[in-house]
């Protein structure tokens, strides 16, 4: 059965040792693992955090955070190297925390959250970006292999990345990287915007898929939006996907004019019932998809 997880920023951001009680809360809500942003240096004591996870009986998947100074796609040498070193740092964190997957927009080139506007890209620069990503992922992939970790590149929507937005683009890159420790993840929030058919894309990803984020089209609780979860569950079963599925339903339900929807906000209500329902919903969806076979 696929482990179901929840991102820590559902409750709090940034995450510090004062928030360790979130782990047992997640466990009691029915979640199997926490999706934790890779802690910046000094943000968390990793041994202590691992102990807190073990005490709560909770697994962990890591989500990498890139920016313009850690950007493997960048033409600036320092940013490119910064990106590679960061990926290796992520692998080290994973080892110390007992995580085996580091996912996220590892390919860099952030747009809206880095206050960058979409710009045209010349063909030679497009190819150069790809070459830089391939070299970086091969190098970081070796470190990952040494530590029993999988790196999972993530296509983001067109407003969050200008290099990697679709499953087909990810396959294009992975074919060039050709490294057993470098694979991909998919997030239905982004797929909803970029893929012609989410089930088709899942089937195309196939064995390359090592992590999955089950988010509603509007990033609210799974089951409250427009996503066809039955079709997605069946596609995941068809490719034999037994990996983790995490939820990030941190869009708060608030449609007053002027509330900025892309900006993270703290919860304004007790979300226990919704989180439990969404967790059960994903479990049930996957079980029923399995039963259909």
Binding site for a copy of itself (CB under 8 A): 73, 111-121, 126-127, 129-130, 133, 157-160, 162-166, 168-170, 172-173, 176, 192-198, 216-218, 220, 224-226, 255-263, 265
**Residue (46 or 168) nearer to a copy of itself, CB:** 168
Q: To the nearest whole angstrom, how small is the minimum distance from the Cβ of residue 141 to a copy of itself?
A: 16
CA 53 to chain centre: 19
**Residue (192 or 208) nearer to a copy of itself, CB:** 192
Q: To the nearest whole angstrom, how small is the minimum distance from the Cβ of residue 182 to a copy of itself?
A: 13
Q: To the nearest whole angstrom, how small is the minimum distance from the Cβ of residue 181 to a copy of itself?
A: 19
- Whether the CB-CB separation of 32 and 4 falls below 8 Å is answered with yes
Dihedrals phi, psi of 130, to nearest 5 degrees: -65, -45
Q: To the nearest whole angstrom, how small is the minimum distance from the Cβ of residue 224 to a copy of itself?
A: 6
CB atoms inside a 10 Å sphere around CB 200: 13
**Residue (180 or 260) nearer to a copy of itself, CB:** 260
- Whether the CB-CB separation of 71 and 109 falls below 8 Å is answered with yes
Handedness of CA 36, 39, 45, 50 (dihedral sign): positive
Query: Quick one: CA torsion of 219, 63, 243, 189, rounded to 10 degrees?
Result: 20
Residue tagged 């996870």 (tokens): 53
Going by C-beta distance under 8 Å and a sequence separation of 6 or more, which residues neighbour residue 247?
A: 4, 5, 6, 7, 10, 213, 214, 215, 221, 222, 278, 279, 282
Helix and strand tally (H, E) in the chain?
Answer: 9, 8
Q: Measured between alpha carbons, how far is 186 from 205 in angstroms, rounded to an integer?
A: 9
SS3 track for 192-206: HHHCCCHHHHHHHHH
Q: To the nearest whole angstrom, how small is the minimum distance from the Cβ of residue 227 to a copy of itself?
A: 9
Q: To the nearest whole angstrom, how small is the minimum distance from the Cβ of residue 63 to a copy of itself?
A: 18
**Residue (1 or 117) nearer to a copy of itself, CB:** 117
* Active site residue ranges: 154, 248
**184 token code pair:** 């991909």
- What angle in degrees, to the nearest 10, is found between the helix axes of 198-205 and 229-238? 20
**Residue (29 or 156) nearer to a copy of itself, CB:** 156
Q: Measured between alpha carbons, how far is 34 from 43 in angstroms, rounded to an integer?
A: 17
**Residue (76 or 116) nearer to a copy of itself, CB:** 116
């Amino acid at each position: 059965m696929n482990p179901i997880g929840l991102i820590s920023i559902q409750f709090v951001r940034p995450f510090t040792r004062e928030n360790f009680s979130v782990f047992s809360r997640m466990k009691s809500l029915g979640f199997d693992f926490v999706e934790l942003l890779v802690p910046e240096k000094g943000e968390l004591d990793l041994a202590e955090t691992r102990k807190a996870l073990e005490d709560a009986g909770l697994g962990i998947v890591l989500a990498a955070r890139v920016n313009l100074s850690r950007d493997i796609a960048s033409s600036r040498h320092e940013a490119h190297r910064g990106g590679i070193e960061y990926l290796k740092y992520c692998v080290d964190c994973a080892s110390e925390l007992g995580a085996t997957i580091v996912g996220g927009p590892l390919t860099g080139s952030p747009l809206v959250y880095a206050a960058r506007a979409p710009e045209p890209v010349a063909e030679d620069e497009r190819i150069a970006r790809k070459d830089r990503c391939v070299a970086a992922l091969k190098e970081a992939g070796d470190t990952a292999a040494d530590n029993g970790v999988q790196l999972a590149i993530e296509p983001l929507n067109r407003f969050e990345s200008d290099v990697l937005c679709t499953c087909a683009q990810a396959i294009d890159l992975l074919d060039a990287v050709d490294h057993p420790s470098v694979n991909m993840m998919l997030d239905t929030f982004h797929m909803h915007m970029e893929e012609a058919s989410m089930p088709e894309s899942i089937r195309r990803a196939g064995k390359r898929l090592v992590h999955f984020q089950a988010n509603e089209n509007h990033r609210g609780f799974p089951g409250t939006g427009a996503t066809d979860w039955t079709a997605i569950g069946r596609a995941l079963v068809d490719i034999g996907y037994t990996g983790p599925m995490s939820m990030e339903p941190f869009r708060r339900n608030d449609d007053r004019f002027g509330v900025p929807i892309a900006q993270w906000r703290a919860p304004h209500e007790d979300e226990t019932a919704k989180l439990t329902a969404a967790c059960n919903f994903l479990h049930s969806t996957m079980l029923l998809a399995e039963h259909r076979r």
